[in-house]
Chain A
Amino acid sequence: MPTLENKLRETLSQKQILLMTHLVLGYPSFEVNREVIRQMVENGVDLIELQIPFSEPVADGPMILKANQQSIAQGAKVEECLKFAEEVTAQFHIPFLFMTYYNILFKYGLEEFISRAYNINIKGFIIPDLPPEEGKEYLEQVKKRDLAPIQIFAPTSTLERMQLLAGNGAGFIYCVARRGVTGKKTDFGQDFDEYIRRCRNATSLPLAVGFGIRSKKDVDFLTGKADIAVIGTETIRLVDERGPQAVGPFIGGLR
């Protein structure tokens, strides 16, 4: 089976920039998740991060925080999220990743969780509160199965730090576009260009840019600079305001 990086490179040979989208499992419901994913895939999304809700999502802004809490309050369980993931990976043939916080893996049993994710054809993990210093066993278990432990670069990361992170990563690098939490607007200025150059210098892995990507204008701006544009909060907002059927046209209009 090709690795996530190979798969992405293959797709990148046909498209200038890839789209990665995000959703919180169980919010507003698994039913709606299903429809949203269908709309995303049909409109050309290249990979999707499935966020398993956690009660203390410190890296997320108000919108995703609320989605996490509501999903849990409605009774979403980790097991249900895994079963749902199994269903969608079988149905849609694009790479799916798990995004969640470390406690979800820790509580499930690190090795059991990773092995289960492997069995249901998840390609990688984004765990924002697990720096490599704390994630030795995680990195071993993930890499052993040729899965991708996605590493995160931040505008505050030095070149040296980025190199260390990249050495621990696989698949692609998630570059956080700015300070702060998810869901706020990002101004792409000169600082950003300097930051992306630093990211490129640090790694040969594809670069995904997320936080505050909302429009075709943002995606156009990233084209040629990054390999993957990440749409997070925006589709949650869209589903909240206009329902799941609004997702398809939105995604279709981004590229």
Chain B
Amino acid sequence: MIKKGYYGHWGGAFIPEILHETFKELTSYFEEVKEDNSFWEEYLQIMSSYSCRPTPLTYAENLSNRFGGGRIYIKREDLNHTGAHKANNVMGQGLLVKRMGKKRVIAETGAGQHGVATATMAAKFGFDCTIYMGEEDVQRQRPNVFWMEKMGATVVPVTDGSRTLKDAINEAFRDWVTNMDSTHYVLGTVCGPHPFPEMVAWFQSIIGLEAREQILKSFGRLPARVYACVGGGSNAMGIFQGFLQDEQVALVGVEAGGKGLTSREHAARLAGSDASPGVAQGYKTMFLQDFDGQMLDTHSVAAGLDYIGVSPILSDLWEKGRVRFTAATDTEVMEALELTMRNEGIIPALESAHGFVQAFKEAADLDSDEAIIINMSGRGDKDIFTIANAYGDPSWKEFIIERAEQYRKG
């Protein structure tokens, strides 16, 4: 690294002066805990007793046989407490907040998983908690809003801009510049100003550390390829870090192809050709933006991937050719989801299903003595409204109508 917080020429800390001291403090606490083995021990301990770490690596035998190529393994981040890899980062930052002595946490959320995880952590550690969520995502992920509120968090729907993840991040920053003395911003992904990309990647590295050990144990050799969906990129960075040093392992990031890469309705930064270098939300990366540098509206069936930027660490790994990027369309995602449910009895989140799409496309290219790992970043039951709607499931519709009638009658 040439300059602190830079990965190649991506990253940095483009922050307003008012937050300078706050970032200085955060960076210094982070540097301290990074060197402190007891902190990581405490982290592992809480992740095993409060969440379900290590999460299993499941051999998907039926899917493997169906495609007749590489053996498919699924890293089960869905079995974390709150149902996604987001818990890894949130509990880690929670321990850091305790060290810093702050009493309030705020967070942005897209799919709602990071918001739920943060609300959970806040309830456990006794912090006040406010979650910013784009109004569109509030609609898409109503059940998560319900749980956040039940755990005592205040959920603020963000009505500015595109009313999705990026706008929620802006609002969280606006809160932070007002309340930085009492408050820590639990950024949910490997984006934003330094030290967030490095810090979140560090907490998420637990996925890759486990997966590497598990595949060696159950398969006897390293995987040929590792697949992960990429929104901001935290689950992908998490699992990729276990294999970055193993050059023979191909790393594949799958972005949201939405309605197709030429449709202008997608969120593919690195797989498509619509993104360009830019600086926004405190860091430099590849952004979906127009000629003037105004951010574009993005689209994905998966709220958690519906974002303009991507981790600066991933932009660097992309530029260096270490990580290959592809995209999965909304339609492909629904197909892969159905196949996984039918064949394995596993329900991936819509976000995670993007990784499955590409793995399924490529599995047959590999020999049966090779393995692939798909990072299943979260579980899909949170998406029941979106999924049921996308399938146009008639009995679900009937149920909703009936329930609505009951509510109406009081």
Contact = CB atoms under 8 A, between A and B. Distances in A.
Contact of A176 (B18, B22, B173, B292): B18
Contact of A179 (B177, B277, B282): B177
Contacts of A156: 17-22, 180
Interface stretch (B7-15, B113-121, B205-213, B228-236): B7-15
Nearest to B291: A107
Interface residues of B, number: 35
Contacts of A104: 292-293
Contact of A61 (B16, B17, B174, B179): B174
Given A107-B278, A107-B289, A58 B16 contact: yes
Nearest to A156: B21
B327 interface: no
Interface in A75-127: 77-78, 101-104, 106-108
Interface string B15-58: 11111111000000000000000000000000000000000000
Interface string B162-203: 000010001001100111100000000000000000000000
A56 B281 contact: yes
Interface stretch (A64-72, A191-199, A215-223): A64-72
A171 B19 CA distance: 23
Given A134-B14, A158-B21, A176-B18, A129 B279 contact: yes
Nearest to A104: B293
Interface string A153-176: 111111001000100000000001
Contacts of A128: 16-17
B20 A161 contact: yes
B88 to A, nearest CB: 27
B contact patch SS: mixed
A54 B178 CA distance: 21
A129 B15 contact: yes
B295 interface: yes
B3 to A, nearest CB: 9
A129 B20 contact: no
A118 B19 CA distance: 30
Given A107-B289, A107-B292, A152-B17, A129 B282 contact: yes
B294 interface: yes
B357 interface: no
Given A59-B177, A77-B292, A103-B280, A154 B161 contact: no
Contacts of A69: 160-161
Contact of B295 (A55, A108, A161, A165): A55
Contacts of A54: 293-294
Given A55-B294, A56-B166, A154-B20, A129 B14 contact: yes
Contacts of B180: 156, 179
A247 to B, nearest CB: 25
B293 A58 contact: no
B276 to A, nearest CB: 8
16 contacts: A54-B294, A56-B280, A58-B170, A58-B282, A59-B18, A61-B174, A66-B160, A69-B160, A104-B292, A104-B293, A107-B292, A108-B292, A129-B15, A134-B12, A156-B20, A179-B179
Nearest 10 A-B pairs (CB), nearest first?
A107-B293, A180-B178, A154-B18, A103-B293, A55-B294, A55-B295, A152-B17, A78-B292, A154-B17, A129-B14
